Amino acid sequence: MREKSNFGPMVIILICAVGLGLLVGWLAVRNPKSDVPPTLLVDAPPVVEPANNVITVATPDVKPVPPLTAAEEVNIHNWDDILNDILGSDEDEDVKADKLADMIPKLPEAAQIDIAEHLINLVSDENFTNKASGILLSETISGEVSRVLFDDLMNRGDDLRLPLTLEIAKNENHPLREEALESLEMTLVEEFGKDWKKWEAAIKESLQEQGFLDES
> Are both 129 and 207 inside the same structural domain?
no
- Percent pLDDT > 90 in the chain is 56
- The answer to whether position 10 is within a domain reads no
Q: Which of 156, 178, 198 is the last residue of a domain?
A: 156
Instruction: Report if residue 165 sits inside a domain.
Output: yes
Per-residue pLDDT, averaged over 78-103, amounts to 93
Residue 44 lies in a domain: no
pLDDT of residue 132: 93
Closest listed residue to residue 116, CA positions, set 75, 149, 88, 158: 149
Q: Indicate if 123 and 175 belong to the same structural domain.
A: no
Question: In angstroms, how far is the first alpha carbon of the chain from the final one?
Answer: 168
With respect to residue 144, please indicate whether it lies within any of the assigned structural domains.
yes
Does one domain contain both 140 and 188? Answer: no
Asked whether residue 134 falls in the same domain as residue 214, the answer is no
Single out the residue in 104, 123, 156 at which a domain terminates: 156
Same domain, 123 and 193: no
Confidence of residue 140 (pLDDT cuts 50, 70, 90): confident
Instruction: State the alpha helices, DSSP H only, in the chain.
Output: 7-30, 70-77, 79-88, 93-103, 109-122, 125-128, 132-137, 143-153, 158-170, 177-188, 196-209
Q: At what angle do helices 143-153 and 109-122 cross, to 10 degrees?
A: 10
Do 130 and 145 sit in the same domain of this protein? yes
The number of distinct structural domains making up the chain is 2
* Domain match, 84 and 122 both: yes
Does 59 map to a domain? no
Domain residues for the domain of 101 are 67-156
Give the mean pLDDT of 178-199. Answer: 96
Examine the domain organization and report whether 90 and 169 are in the same domain: no
Last residue of a domain, one of 130, 156, 182: 156
Q: Is the model's pLDDT at 130 over the cut of 70?
A: yes
The more confidently predicted of residues 29 and 109 is 109
Mean pLDDT of the chain: 78
179 in the same domain as 120: no
Averaged pLDDT, 13-18: 61
Please, what is the Cα angle at 186 between 185 and 188, to 5 degrees? Answer: 65
For the segment 129-141, the average pLDDT, to the nearest whole number, is 92
- Residue 2 resides in a domain: no
In this structure, the dihedral spanned by the alpha carbons of residues 154, 155, 161 and 164, taken in order and rounded to 10 degrees, is: -50
Please indicate, yes or no, whether residues 207 and 193 belong to a single structural domain of this protein. Answer: yes
pLDDT at 29 over 60: no
Q: Does residue 16 sit within a domain?
A: no
Residues 92, 82 within the same domain: yes
User: Are 123 and 178 in the same domain?
Assistant: no
Q: What's the confidence (pLDDT) of residue 14?
A: 61
Would 23 be classed as within a structural domain? no
Q: Are 82 and 74 in contact (CB under 8 A)?
A: yes
Give the whole-number percent of the chain exceeding pLDDT 70: 64
Cβ(93)–Cβ(123) below 8 Å: yes
C-alpha 205/C-alpha 190 separation (Å) is 13
